[in-house]
Each structure stands twice: as C-alpha cells, then as structure tokens.
C-alpha cells in the first residue's frame, strides 16, 4: 500500500510501558522518535490515542460511575495522553498541533477536519484528542471517524500484538496470524480487532486498517516503507 496520509491509533495501555498505571516516559519518547522519523519521510500523520492507562469509561461504569460521566472521564484521559505525546514530539524536534473534540482552549483547539488537514499539509502532526466528544463511543470509533474525515489512506492501529490472529495469541498458543483479512471475515469469526461500530465505519467508507506492534522500535517506519508487518484488514 502507498501511504501519503495516515491516521495512527495508539493504545493508552501501551503508554504504560512496564508500569502499572500512567505514562512510561521511555515508551513515550520511543513513540515520539518513531513518529518523527516517519514524518520526516514526508508522510502526513494524524494521531488518536486511547486513555486506558488512566481511566476507562466502561470499567468505571462497572464500579458504579454514571456511564456518560465515566466516558467523559475517559475522554479527558485521552487529552492527558495527547498532551504528553505533544510534549514528547516537541522535544524530538517535531512540530504538532493538538485538537480536542470538546472545547477546552487553551489546552488545544477545537477539532475541525479542515484545520487538521491544513496542519498536516504544513508538516505538523495533528493530534486529535477527546474521542468523538460523545459518550458511548470508543477511541477506536473516534479513530475510524477521524481517519475517514481527514481522508487518510489507512488507519494504522499500533498495539502490543503484531497483527490479527485466529484467537488471542496471549492465551492460545495455536493461534495463527492473518497477513490480510476482509472486514466480513472479521465479523464472521467475531475477531476483536476493534469494536463493531469502528469496524463498520471503516468497512462502509473503505478505510483499510493495519494492525501492528508499535512497541517494537522501528516497526512504524518498516510498515510505511512497505515491509510486510502486521495484518491488513480491508
């Protein structure tokens, strides 16, 4: 695949690195360096990052939080992660702009498709925080929505697993990895690539997803250069 513009989805959990909670500065710096390297190749990049290292709306609900308030807390968690990534990118010499789905100047500016595209065309990285701005939607769905809006060539979903498997490779030693898989097959096999809303949006709008292991240093660049890394869902 040829990539000119990508939506990079990063997992909040991965930001914890070896910690139990919060942000691992080493992991954060590694991410920033890899993203900067790819940006220097002329690739336009928008980033959506999860908040699971700080707070998860759904797990909050199970502990008695109101679902809407829990999801709003989750959205704010993504803003904290986005600020950390923005800061790390600046420290490696990479310009970026932070957009938020909910008004919260001066933390970031209110997201709009055109401002994000303009930012990327200037060589900045557009970090899009706050999920969709609505409860009941995950950051996967936010990534699908933003990827479609900004007309990305693909969504690159950086996780701690190196692709899509027939079963959870962390639990099933016999799980085998797909090189390529269709959206329909993902549905049929009930594979947990992303939640259904996100998968459906990508399918209906022809946004391919590449699931890859972002925690292996250099993987992002290899993927962009066309190496066979991860699993392509299309």
pLDDT in tens, 19-39: 989 999 999 999 999 999 999
pLDDT for residue 173: 86
Domain boundaries defined on the chain:
5-233
Q: Which one has a higher pLDDT value, 65 or 219? A: 219
Structure tokens at 145: 């929505």
Average pLDDT over residues 39-56: 95
> What is the rounded CA–CA span in Å between residue 202 and residue 193?
12
Task: Identify the band that residue 60 occupies on the pLDDT scale cut at 50, 70 and 90.
Answer: low
Q: Which residue is associated with the tokens 């998968």?
A: 199
Peptide bond into 106 cis (omega under 30): yes
Mean pLDDT estimate for the chain: 94
Among 21, 142, 33, 168, smallest CA distance to 88 is for 33
- Specify the 3-state DSSP secondary structure of 166: coil
pLDDT of 58 > 90? The answer is no
pLDDT band, residue 216 (cuts 50/70/90):
very high
Per-residue pLDDT band at 186 (split at 50, 70, 90): very high
* β-bridge pairing 209-213 and 231-233: antiparallel
Nearest CA to 129 among 114, 142, 115, 113?
142
Among the ranges given (67-71, 128-132, 200-204), the one the predictor scored with the smallest mean pLDDT? 67-71
CATH 3.40.1160.10 fits 5-233, yes or no: yes
Tell me: pLDDT of 118 over 70: yes
Q: Residue 12's pLDDT band (boundaries 50, 70, 90)?
A: very high
Instruction: Provide the percentage of residues in the chain whose pLDDT is more than 90.
Output: 85
Q: What is the pTM of this model?
A: 0.95
What span, in angstroms and rounded, lies between the C-alpha atoms of 230 and 213? 7
Quick one: pLDDT at residue 171?
A: 87
């Amino acid at each position: 695949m040829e990539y000119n513009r990508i939506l990079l989805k990063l997992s909040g959990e991965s930001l914890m690195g070896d910690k139990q909670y919060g942000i691992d500065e080493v992991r954060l710096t590694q991410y920033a360096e890899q993203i900067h390297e790819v940006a220097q190749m002329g690739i336009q990049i928008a980033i959506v990052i999860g908040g699971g290292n700080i707070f998860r709306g759904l797990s909050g609900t199970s502990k008695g939080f109101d679902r809407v308030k829990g999801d709003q807390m989750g959205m704010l968690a993504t803003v904290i992660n986005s600020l950390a990534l923005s800061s790390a990118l600046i420290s490696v010499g990479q310009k970026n702009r932070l957009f938020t789905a909910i008004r919260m100047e001066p933390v970031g500016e209110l997201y709009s498709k055109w401002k994000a595209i303009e930012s990327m065309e200037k060589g900045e990285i557009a970090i899009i925080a706050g999920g969709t701005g609505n409860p009941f939607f995950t950051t996967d769905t936010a990534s699908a929505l933003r990827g479609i809006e900004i007309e990305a060539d693909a969504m690159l979903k950086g996780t701690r697993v190196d692709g899509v498997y027939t079963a959870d490779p962390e639990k099933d030693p016999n799980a085998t990895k797909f090189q390529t898989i269709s959206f329909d097959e993902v549905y049929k096999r009930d594979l947990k690539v992303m939640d259904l809303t996100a998968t459906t949006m990508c399918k209906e709008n022809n946004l391919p997803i590449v699931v890859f292991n972002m925690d292996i240093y250099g993987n992002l660049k290899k993927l962009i250069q066309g190496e066979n890394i991860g699993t392509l869902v299309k």
